[in-house]
Structure 1
């Protein structure tokens, strides 16, 4: 029977995470998988030929939440890490998880003959940073290394300066970015903006009580407005340069930002009873992302060749196919990452700790 990890690894200690935010993490990842079902399968191109149908309205709404979900995911990280610190364990666990799935998935594709062995495939397997412009995983890894420096800055800002900094950043990245004034944005810098927002929430909170409206109502309103923007633009803008997802099409766009903050505030304050089941599932959500969105080859194999989303779209069961496929992909990825954590990650770090007596 495996002994408990020594206190040398501080965040391996048993902690009761807030199940409300862990449930939020699960919902966010389901929304991201649904987004990928639509945008990574070729469905968008098919839908554009018949933009006003009811079926297309469903798929527009089903796949619109991916960039909002990215915001939600990073807000959770910032909320907890602004009062924590980076340890060897935390970063190494994250890095090895990324490399593990890169190596295993690419090797499986090579063995199956779906991918050729080449210098590029070796690069895909062994180098975790693929793109700093728009690669979520690459930028998240690099962003993690900035957290100690960001915390020093945050702790030396008073409330007014902190809020002023957020306002300036949102004006540049969100207001100018949404109005399409050619604001160049990459995920790494945007995650820093989100970190300032989530750390402000942790340190000072956001009080809207004087408006006599709760975060639940604010969340519903932001969801309705976001969904409405997609439907209205798809109906009136299909013969214009307007794009359906213009207000939520990237993480810095105004409705993606508003919805993610409102939902985060609602789940943060929601009094949900501790659930071990929810917390265990939530620990696998990053693994779900690493598996199902691992590479362009994975996207091709999963959504186009195996599930054949475009083919299913032309059947009477298109919506059922979408719902079942996303649920099945999520559940299977959760199971895979749970096995990895139990049989690979925990024994590995237990061995590292005992073999090298790492000081952190």
Structure 2
């Protein structure tokens, strides 16, 4: 999701840049699914299957971005400029969205206005906030990654897997937080990168495909089963039955890792793909708030529950249109403001470096 804009296209691995694009598209499909109103009581099995199958992909998309980040960043120099640039990008789209909503006369609560003004502090886009906090910790996290041996690393990942994935999959909200999860998946990506040759010697494409489709089948099956249990008995309330559908689900994690490993085996070079992938963080920041405030009112008139044609056109084409529109918006933004935002981020990083040096002299 977050890529280094200063890296030239020729130095980027297009296989992972393509995966970044696919992951963002998966997230858009998921976010479109989230804003569909509660028409499930009148929907048939086929539509339930389609909606939840497409929606489940978005959870894996988040994990894929964290895996890519860990894969490339565990042995990189952490720069303050990058931190401030991401913060500026988050603020830009948050303020732009707020201004747009106010101009269009959309009713926004005071609480939401405060969130739009301070998006990082109030975690308006949770992944961006978690990423920025993780970025502050990366000098220490990466130091640990570089120094521990493979057995210590494996043991650490197993403990985190138990606490952050297996236990929450069985019972929600057990020792879980967005930051902890992103850090855990970051560590997995770093582990795959650090011990890439050993992992490839012990794995195979057939095994990865088996676990990929096996985990996807179980995710979809669990969602459909829980839905029908809830619909007929009311046993699960407030969606607590959808724990196989969440970011921390062991099934979603397996699916994400297997898809990541499959793309790791692809040798691909494409400047076009690399250029498009740079737009993905902007797509993430811009599309979700607009969907939340505009799309629900629009789709109420489509009668998705009974009109199958509208349903399938909306579910399959609306995310593609949204993805393309906000990709174009981000392209224009970078053309117009990229250099300016880079200069501002550079000045902020210099101020920070001066402040840090002054503090260290006092210690």
* TM-score, length basis structure 2: 0.84
Residue 246 (1) aligns with residue 242 (2): yes
Cα 1:51–1:122, aligned 2, differ >3 Å: closer, same or farther? closer
Matches within 5 A, 1:211-226: 213-226=206-219
Give the Å deviation of 1:287.
Answer: 1.1
The SS at the match of 2:123 is: coil
Matches within 5 A, 1:195-214: 195-205=186-196, 206-207=199-200, 209=202, 213-214=206-207
Deviations 1:270-326 (A, max 9, x none): 122x112211111111111111113xxx33333212354863443232111211110
Q: Partner of 2:360 in structure 1?
A: none
- Measure, in 1, the Cα distance between the counterparts of 2:109 and 2:170: 44
Preserved CA contact (<8 Å) 2:205 2:262: no
Residue of 241, 248, 265 corresponding to 2:261? 265
The SS at the match of 1:270 is: coil
Residue of 289, 293, 302 corresponding to 2:294? 302
Q: Partner of 1:91 in structure 2?
A: 83
Cα 1:88–1:61, aligned 2, differ >3 Å: closer, same or farther? same
- Measure, in 1, the Cα distance between the counterparts of 2:116 and 2:247: 25
Residue of 140, 145, 153 corresponding to 1:149? 140
Residue 55 (1) aligns with residue 57 (2): no
- Measure, in 1, the Cα distance between the counterparts of 2:231 and 2:342: 53
Deviations 1:123-163 (A, max 9, x none): 4224422139x922222221222211110111221110000
Residue 39 (1) aligns with residue 26 (2): no
- Measure, in 2, the Cα distance between the counterparts of 1:250 and 1:77: 20
- Measure, in 1, the Cα distance between the counterparts of 2:55 and 2:147: 40
Give the Å deviation of 1:207.
Answer: 4.0
* TM-score, length basis structure 1: 0.85
**Which 5+ residue runs of structure 2 have no aligned equivalent?**
354-363
Cα 1:177–1:309, aligned 2, differ >3 Å: closer, same or farther? farther
Q: Partner of 2:96 in structure 1?
A: 104
Residue of 324, 327, 336 corresponding to 1:334? 327
Preserved CA contact (<8 Å) 1:51 1:238: no
Give the Å deviation of 1:354.
Answer: 9.4
Q: Partner of 1:323 in structure 2?
A: 316
Residue 343 (1) aligns with residue 336 (2): yes
Preserved CA contact (<8 Å) 1:67 1:248: no
The SS at the match of 1:113 is: coil
- Measure, in 2, the Cα distance between the counterparts of 1:170 and 1:151: 19
Please tell me the root mean square deviation across aligned C-alpha atoms, in Å: 3.0
Residue of 117, 130, 138 corresponding to 1:139? 130
- Measure, in 2, the Cα distance between the counterparts of 1:155 and 1:53: 49
- Measure, in 1, the Cα distance between the counterparts of 2:308 and 2:171: 38
Q: After alignment, is 311-320 or 235-244 more displaced?
A: 235-244
- Measure, in 1, the Cα distance between the counterparts of 2:5 and 2:101: 34
**Which 5+ residue runs of structure 1 have no aligned equivalent?**
1-9
Cα 1:268–1:309, aligned 2, differ >3 Å: closer, same or farther? farther
- Measure, in 1, the Cα distance between the counterparts of 2:72 and 2:345: 26
Aligned residues: 343
User: Which structure features the higher share of helix residues?
Assistant: 2
Preserved CA contact (<8 Å) 1:288 1:334: yes
